[in-house]
Chain A
């Protein structure tokens, strides 16, 4: 009986799945997809980031071309399409990546979404509002506290320092699991790019860490201020940081070994030999 059940269950599942219609991605799913995959480079009505502002993009180029481009930008570029080349130049050589899970249907849905959002006076994808005023020393200080974890992130995400380093942030410059963030302000082309990136981190690792624990606006601005400060002020040379790290590690290892050796002095002393020794002494 059990055997029959075991063989039937996967079959039933298979049958259950196949005839079902491929469900249309709902508008909400599409928006979530946009936020996760597109919003770090594109805004809708918020000005250009790495990629162009997509407000009214349908007016700039025909829909069929756009859908084709979204599915695989690389292929369109390689075909030598002149408009694609122009876009590449505007983006200073940053190629739009092929987005994982992209299908022609999804591309159409995204274009619908962009059209709908473009019609609104203020789109939800207008990007993060970052003040243009110069940041104060207090902003930078708070940003440093957030980065180092001296101040907890409100939604419970781990402090940046656990994985990232910024030159001059502390004794060892921070974690080495993830990229050094000293020049991240320059890499992401300024306040707006950085703020948008932080608002919806596009990389898988960051996404898994920040899912449901997004940074708040009140945290974003000090962090941007801190990164801006770090990029402009520099810090010590990364090589010296690494050297300190290695030397410190070696030192700690030696201290650890010496401590263990001292703490477990008796590890080579056997009970039996001690007994024999004691009675030999007693007799002599």
Chain B
């Protein structure tokens, strides 16, 4: 048993209101520099939709992630041969158009325009060249089903849905969408790290955050092709790849990452998981329908004395183990089993989990009156407007069993609370639902508390990073103290 710690995340999609506050918080802190204009380390997508960059889930085009070849894992986009063949051009990279051409407006013109017969206007101008541009798309161009005949209908997760189901998804009075915020998943088996020819990407030993070493990056861009979630971006100004750093400078000082901190819907949870790195490869090579369970089995019980001993022997600090015991992520993923990894079939073992969203039930329209087909407006899972198959494609590698389990449990919690507070549901029905959903009243209460009444400290259980100990391995702490301060030791250099 090779126990390691991983800072992991849960996004509760049932609570996301799609306000993009997270994206803006991230943008303002990290990607408002030259060369990063088009990057959105955090973005919020509408599902169904093609997302950002366009159709990132289409691995036939982008070739991201891993495949199982003769029983072993192999990258889809990179191999010894391909690294030579694709030396001058990598055929699987998104183009700038697939992201979007970043633009701003020529506000200066509003003040400086010569006097004329018309109002001056602020024309859209490119943030890259400064020239006027025609806006063709943006990072959330298909927000709230915008342009759905072009974008939403080409969502890869619609595969396997009947023609009728597809039509219903977009029919007036029946259409439905939900939000899907995305950051880097800080995977256990990151394809970007494996693909880098320069060894510039690495997974931090103490907390599993995946980072790009800006001095070692040589602009091969193999990481961008390899990441199936398209969460590594290329800075055209510095000629280096950049990605979500999970705000590690904030984590190291005990603060939640900016997107977590600013989340209006309080959908985000962060905590440490302990996992067994020895069984990682075996778990990632399992057949599609076993992957979710295989990943769960990697996550270890932080209360198990054997696990604690093995973790301590592996250099995991006591305070981190203690933090893992309070982790909300452990509850959602391993204990309650209501949070699921996105597209686990890419086999990178993402460590950002999603609680699948509840959806209203299907409606009928007869004689000008809209009528729902079920009395349980928000609770009939099979009749929900988002087909289970769609959620199964997104969160279950094409299999809906795990999604159904998670939704049933959420539904049972609602009925349980309804019996408690509103009283229009009798206790016996609520208890039966809890039993059917493999849930006890205590568990339902705990899920309810962590979902609805959670405090800041309950949502973000940030492990102590012990930078002082890491520092001690590299230099004399007293010397470091004298040399620390503001400014750059080595100023960032523009240009390739």
Chain A residues in contact with chain B, CB under 8 A?
2-3, 260, 264, 266-268, 270-273, 275-276, 279, 283
Contacts and interface: CB of A to CB of B under 8 A. Distances in A.
B111 interface: no
A267 B50 contact: no
Interface string B45-57: 0000010011100
B61 A272 contact: no
Contacts of B150: 275-276, 279
Interface stretch (B93-101, B441-449, B460-468): B93-101
A271 B91 contact: no
Interface of B: 50, 53-55, 58, 61, 88-89, 91, 94-95, 97-98, 137, 149-151, 153-154, 476
Nearest to A268: B95
Contacts of A275: 50, 54-55, 150-151, 154
A166 to B, nearest CB: 32
Nearest to B479: A3
B54 A272 contact: yes
Contacts of A264: 89, 91
Contacts of B94: 270-271
B349 to A, nearest CB: 26
B63 to A, nearest CB: 12
A267 B149 CA distance: 26
Contact of B137 (A3, A268, A272, A283): A272
A201 B488 CA distance: 51
Most A Cβ at <10 Å: residue of B54, B61, B149: B54
Contacts of B53: 271-272
A260 B98 CA distance: 22
A5 to B, nearest CB: 11
Contacts of B154: 275
A267 to B, nearest CB: 6
Contacts of A283: 149
24 contacts: A260-B88, A260-B89, A264-B89, A266-B91, A267-B89, A270-B98, A271-B53, A271-B54, A271-B55, A271-B58, A271-B61, A271-B94, A271-B95, A271-B98, A272-B55, A272-B97, A273-B97, A275-B54, A275-B55, A275-B150, A275-B151, A275-B154, A279-B153, A283-B149
A275 B50 CA distance: 10
Contacts of B55: 271-272, 275
Contacts of A3: 476
